[in-house]
Amino acid sequence: MRKIIGLILAGFMLSGCYASSLTYVGTGAGIIQGKSIQSAAAQATSIAVKQRTGKSPIEHILNPDQIKTYNNTKAKLNPCEQTPELCSKISLRVAVINNILESSHKNLKTNPKIK
């Protein structure tokens, strides 16, 4: 029982560590299950701790050597670090799709009868 409670608390405390660089997106199912509220609360707590102390929650738990190892491991797992060509192709594709959506949005604004 202690292990389960410890894992739950550790998961809650560390849930915002990796997500500080990600965009917060809530799904419909997540809103119904309360996951969006939990994610927002964890992110807000992480931001508050960082503003108040100058350190992220992970920096309070790990020593500098462990943080260096953590960052190196995270960089190795980053697909953009491993294959920059893939990331550039994906970024280009996203830009093309955004341009298509923006042009169709402008067309709908100028000519609302076309659907």
Q: Summarize pLDDT for 9-62 with one digit per residue, the tens.
A: 666 666 555 444 444 444 455 556 667 778 888 888 889 988 999 988 888 888
Tokens of 74: 């995270």
Asked if residue 67 belongs to a domain, the reply is no
Residue 2 lies in a domain: yes
Alpha-carbon distance 57 to 80, whole Å? 25
Both 28 and 83 in one domain: the answer is: no
Give strand ranges (E) for 35-111. Answer: none
Structural domain tally of the chain? 2
The pLDDT of residue 24: 45
In a domain, 10, yes or no: yes
CA distances from 76 to 23, 81, 87 (A): 21, 7, 15
Q: Tens of pLDDT along 59-77?
A: 888 888 988 998 888 888 8
Residues 86 and 104: their CA atoms lie apart, in Å, by 27
pTM score, two decimals? 0.37
DSSP 8-state assignment for residue 27? -
In tens, the pLDDT along 91-114 reads 899 999 999 988 887 777 776 665
- Domain of 18, in residue numbers: 1-62
Q: Are residues 58 and 99 in the same domain?
A: no
Is 9 found in the same domain as 49? Answer: yes
